[in-house]
Structure 1
Amino acid sequence: MTKVREIGSLLSLFNFQSSLVLTLLFLIILSTSKFGTEALDLDTTNGDQKTLLLVKSQLSDPFGALASWTNNTIFCRWRGVTCKNQTYVIKLDLHSLTLAGALSPYIANLTFLQRIDLSNNKFSGQIPVEFSRLSHLEYLNLSMNSLNAEIPSSLFNGRWLVSIDLSINTLHGRIAHVVSDLLPRLQYLSLARNNLTGTIPKSIGNISSLAYLDLSDNILEGSIPKTLGTNSNLLQHVNLYNNYLSGEVPDSIYNITTLTYLNLNYNELSGTLPSTIGHTLPNIETIDLGVNQFVGPIPITLSNASHLQNIVLKANSLYGKVPTNLGSLHNLSYLDLSWNQLESGDWSFLSSLTRCRKLWILNLISNNLTGNLPITVGNLTTGRLLMGNNNISGMIPYEIGNLVNLTALYLDQNLFSGMVPPSIGSLRNLDILELSKNMLSGPIPFSIGNLTKLSELWLMENQLTGAIPTSIGNCSNLLILKICSNNLEGIIPKEIFGITTLSQEVDLANNLLDGTIPWEVGSMKNLPYLDLSNNNLHGEIPLSLGDCQVLQQLKLGRNHFEGSIPESLRNLRGIEYLDLSLNNLSGKIPEYVDSFRLLKYLNLSFNALEGNVPEGGLFLNASAVFLQGNLGLCGGNSLLNFPPCPVDSSKHKRNFVKQSIIIVASCIASISFLIVIISTLLSRLKNKKDTKHEGTGFEVEMYRKVSYYDLLQATDRFSLANFIGRGNFGSVYKGNLDGEGQVAIKVFNLDQTGAHRSFNTECESLRNIRHRNLVGVITSCSTVNSRGNEFKALVLKYIKNGSLEEWIHPKVEGKKLSLEHRIYFALDMASALSYLHHHCTPPLAHCDLKPSNVLVDGDMNALVSDFGLAKFLPSPTSHSSTSLMGLNGTIGYIAPEYAMGGQISIHGDVYSYGILLLEMLTGKRPTDDMFNGGLNLRSYVNAAFPEKVGEILDTTISEETHEDLLMHECAISLFQIGLCCSEEAPKDRMSMRDVATEISLLKETFLKKETPDGGTN
């Protein structure tokens, strides 16, 4: 009866007279879904509020982004909600809030919506067809979600009731007598980067007002367009998703005359491009159909779309000649036709493109271009010219030097011959020069040194001759130098190793180079890859090579090096691949090689090495070690098939005598020590005074004594279950020590160079310092283990919340740092360093401040730890030491003056603190892959400071600062402190005392905000 009365009211409201209409409406309402029934309960005064609450009830909101959506507040002030006249919702912006669940059809009840942005969330399922009733909708963005059904055709060709009260907007289907055009105002539609399937509905063409259409990035995982072939370089840039849009693009899409932007890339769409495309899309500015399966020629009518600025047709199966009339597109700035089967013809298309004075990117990589590159190439205005992987022959035109705006030139994998034109030196803005895998001959032009902005130089696999020009040393921004596999002669210029920016690769292998490795190679402190193999180099391996501590791959095989493997190479702790094979090296295999924990491949074969083969580390894996051809080697892993080492009887006798002397001496020392202890105790009882125990341990009365067996029992024999992590000089275990409860036990790897010094330094440091923001020490242990080997360990308080590294860069959900926490952590660290620098006598420099050396306790306090590299400075006034020898800080946090041989000082800690603070705020490591070519974390922040700091903030706090002016100002202040601390010149940096004061004031400001009467909230 209730529904009948409601029907009567509706009919009375709209004065419907027809019984046919009455019957139709009656049937529709009785068949209304649960959704429809609930919507009927909404009234005109609070319908939008109830609708929003229904939408919220169906969502997963893990971070409480919609906490403001409650009955106790005005819905027009809710997050992401914009109203008109404080009455009804016109905009719903909920992008990037990590919301999950199905898209709610209740959104369609917000009848006056003009804009919906739900992008960059985790919505799944299908797009509700009910959205078709939003007649005022102009903007719909559902991109970057996990929508995984077909695009409903009825979304674009359905009809909705326009003359019924808002409370029954759940009616759907077609009512022929009372209709309006679907989504008549929609101008923006983005469903990109989802998992949508099926074909593109023809009905999208019904949206006559559409200007922006993006259905890109819905490609099936593992289903790659055939045109990609097997090229791994391109595949690195293809995003693969779980499903895909397939089939042909409906003609109706190409007939939406209002379109200015069309993006269908990264799908599996097929068919040909319509021959009339330039006529039917007269207003198009961007057309991106890349990474699909389109076939056929590029329509010549494309040039009729005179507004075109960006054309992307890459990675399809297009064939035929490149149209020769593209030059009429005077606004064209980006043309990408790469990875097709296009032909060059007579190259008239290139002459045509010289009329496009705005053309910045021309990409024709991997096509069927043939013939000689015409000299008209020098008339282009492009900034990036990409023609690699074709069959272009002849000489590189001298006129290439006219492209003075060029930043990238790719002519690799062609058939170019002749010399590299000297005019190449005129391209002073060039960032990347790629001429590899051609047939180029002659010398490398000396003018190459004019390319001072060059970051990548690729000349490998040609037939170049002559010496490497010393002018390459002028390319002071180089990151990659690959000139391997040529016929280059002469010595390696020392100027190459003066390019300190080389931080990715230096490859000079497979040439005819001779002479020695310049001593200056030690300047390559940031280089991970060095290949000088298969040349005619001789002499000894320079000791300075050990200064290249970032090296991961070192290849010196197939040369004529002699002498022993230098002791300095023990510093290459990150080495993964080491090849010294086919040389004339002699002496023993250094024992330190088996301590290289990251080493995966070792080739020392065919040298003149002798003596015992180490048995630890990589030597346990016979398949990864190559030692054949060294006739003097013996012992080691039996799988290496070396004979046992002979026993030296005279040496055995000497050892027996030595051991006897040691035993007698030990007995005498023990008795003497016992006498000293008894005398000391009697003296203490008599004089009632404390006497400090000398040595590397802690004070006897202040710290308890523990034995090796105590620690063995506490850690369950140092089991993997209790392993916490590995530091610079040892491993850390969790344990339960009687009388102390849970502790952290740092066991030093005494086979590692510097471990003894590190243990002594930590003991000395921790004995003399006390501060609430320093990790508390319980005791030390210096003894022998069960095998009679020396054993040293520190017992520290166990900090249960891990390191700051795990909070800034969490690997698991749950560890989330608010700006409040970051302010407190910054103050804790500043207070600790201020104490070390200004309140210790003598002052103490930590020398290795980084996130993994800052621990977080149960009360979320930051505690500075790991004093293994700390240095006591000579005097409170000098604040500096006389030597930098032995400093092994961490790349990215080390002060720049240290890299130049400067003295250790408290200013180095300030620099490390500044970088750490910037890392805390941006969430980016100083060693992030994005930082190259002169860009580092500090310059990245400095470029955004102060106006754009909101754009570089860590995503977990960007929302806080976006919605709260005071929080935003706090973030700016912290950024300013970080920049002041990380100034290049030590004298320009703040003192930690001032830093602690500044951040303490910030903390007070924050607390005032949090206080109910603070006046901010």
Structure 2
Amino acid sequence: MLAMGQNLLSGVIPSLIGNLGHLIVLNLSGNKFSGQIPSTIGNLSRLNKLYLHNNELSGNIPATLGNCNQLYMLELSFNSLEGPIPSELFNGTTLIGLDLSNNYLTGSIPLQIGGLIQLLRLDISFNKLSGQVPLSFGECVELSSLRLRSNMLNGSIPRSFSNLKSIEQIDLSQNSLVGKIPEFFANMDYLQQLDLSMNYFEGPIPTGGIFQNHSVVNLEGNDELCASAATTLFQFPLCPMSSAVERKNALLLVKIIPPIAIALLSFICFVFTLLKRRQAQAAPCYKETMKKVSYSDIIKATSWLSPVNKISSSRTGSIYIGRFEFDTDLVAIKLFHLEENGAHDSFVAECEVLRNTRHRNLVKAVTVCSTVDLENNEFKAIVFDFMANGSLDMWLHTKLHHNSPKRVLSLGQRLRIAMDVALALDYMHNQLTPPLVHCDLKPDNVLLDYDMTVRVGDFGSARFLSSVPGGPEDLVGVEGTIGYIAPEYCMGYQVSPGCDVYAFEILILEMLTGRRPTDAIFTDGLSLHKLVSSAFPGTLGEVLDPHLSHGHTHPCDKVFMRRCMVPLVEVALLCSMESPKDRPGMGEVCARILSLKEAFFEFC
């Protein structure tokens, strides 16, 4: 074994490394190696694991890697590799894990991939691969995770996918795939996540199996899809009726129209007379009003910015609850304090994020208002859907929010919230190009919809990472909120996803202990992290929120503590490693929390 990962090694990988004939594990990941991968690595015939991810390697993947016929783990992600995927990689049948994601690979996916009959995990997302999805994928019968996100793949999903009986995760999003969504997805017993978003699928959405849980299926951006039943969980229009049904209904209409035509005509005449009188006073419809709202509309909606309507306030903005004229739905209106330094930049940043993101766990803007007020001062506001259950902070710290006895989160609810926040961050960090970093994650910015679905909001401090690492736009001063800021952030380091990962850890520990990171007890070097880590795992129950068992039986609490709580705290503590490079990515965090969530709900 030669393990030199997570250092600051640079330069090229020496070609003489191919002389280490007895090497079984080679790990050079997380360094700054540049240049090409030495073709001499193909001489390491006994190699089992090769980790070269998170470097600055370029050039083609050497075809000689196919000579490593005992290789079962190959990680080359997050480099600058280009050219086609060599078919020689699939000469053997031993590979169980292959990650080529986040490179610049081109060409098509080799048909020989079907020879990897033991393959469990394949990730070639975020490349420039084209062509169709190979039929041979159906031969990888052991496959549990398949990620082809963000390429230029076309054609339809091959029927051979129905052979993937063990598949748990499929991500085909952000490609140019067409056709109907196959019904066989509904019959995959182990499928837990399905992302087909941002393609060109059309026709009816299947209704059984995984499609009964819209929280684990993402179909956004496929505008030609339709719902095959009125009871569908997806917000798509109903599919048109078949021609046979249409003909039958047409004949029925021919029979019933004559008897009611005279009555309808009389009624229409009566209604027309009334409408004509009111036409001059008719208000614009809700849809048109929401497309373009004026300063006057917002003032009226908030009862002239009444303090009673104010939900919250910060240095750069205030949020009001309101209702526009001629509409029954409440909205949340964020007014920016443009006289404050940074407020204008906050407005621009938030608009940029809202314009470029679409995810069920991120807030969605209804409209934007950029105008002047009655004194000709600049006025800017963003209108959001109203979150009926407020913020996570209100549920965790009820004494500070009128001590409502109903605001107590059960074990399951806290786990679902953790999962939703993790999914939102995973989308921002790993599924957007360029990646997005929130920079101010905290319970106040985790909002809860009427069904307790999480919507992460407040992107005024958010940053899209530069396409050139180390660019000036990646350098920041201290932003965010004290207690949730990563240590390296305070020292002027570059913005990175690790900042959000650290804040996520604090948020999870706050959910589990009911304590803010700025509570008065945290003095003389004691912190929320140290409080939990000192009790982990033996005396963990002593520092947990006493309300955690609310609404559950004692056996369920035991299951949660043994099977879920300890591993969940372990994940949180890993997220707060001092070096950002040592913290897990949100993709890994999501997978772990999903596993814990399933373990909990299997028994509770």
State the TM-score, normalizing by the size of structure 2. 0.49
State the TM-score, normalizing by the size of structure 1. 0.30
Tell me which of the two structures has the higher relative contact order, counting C-alpha pairs closer than 8 angstroms and 6 or more residues apart. Answer: 2
